[in-house]
Amino acid sequence: MLTTITIPRPHVPTGPLGVHEDRADADYLRAVISKIDTGYTRVGGSGVTAMIRSLVADAAEALETPPNAPGRDIVQLVRDLIDPDECWFDHNGGCQAHGYFSLQPGELCPNAEAKAWISEMGA
């Protein structure tokens, strides 16, 4: 099952002057969530309301995610692919544990790089 899809950006009224457009749109969407949560507005039954609320919340989050930040699915994929075993280097500097036999001096095993990346991501 797909957990992430790409849809066009929501068309929302522009925010206050001096506020970055992404931030203004995210604030607007969060105001919609607040109105749903406080019962000010309702869309269909409780299931539809919950789905719309979730969609709007995801859109607000996406607007404020830095464009170069990997999606959650990529982080999870890398986490799943990492071998928990430590690298084991042969006399030529290749990682025998992960099958990277021709690493150049100073080059890291990709498995070690992935571990470091996940650690930096705080995931």
Of 70 and 93, the one with the shorter C-beta distance to Zn ion is 93
Of 56 and 98, the one with the shorter C-beta distance to Zn ion is 98
- Which residue of 109, 116, 117, 118 would you call a contact of Zn ion, by CB under 5 A? 109
Determine the Cα–Cα distance for residues 82 and 67; give it in Å rounded to an integer. Answer: 24
Applying CB under 5 A, which part among 30-38, 41-49, 70-78, 107-115 lies near Zn ion? 107-115
Joined tokens for residue 79: 């986490």
Determine the Cα–Cα distance for residues 14 and 65; give it in Å rounded to an integer. Answer: 19
Of 67 and 84, the one with the shorter C-beta distance to Zn ion is 84
From residue 24, how far is each of 27, 85, 116 by CA, in Å? 5, 45, 34
Contact positions with Zn ion (CB under 5 A) in 74-103:
87, 95, 97-98
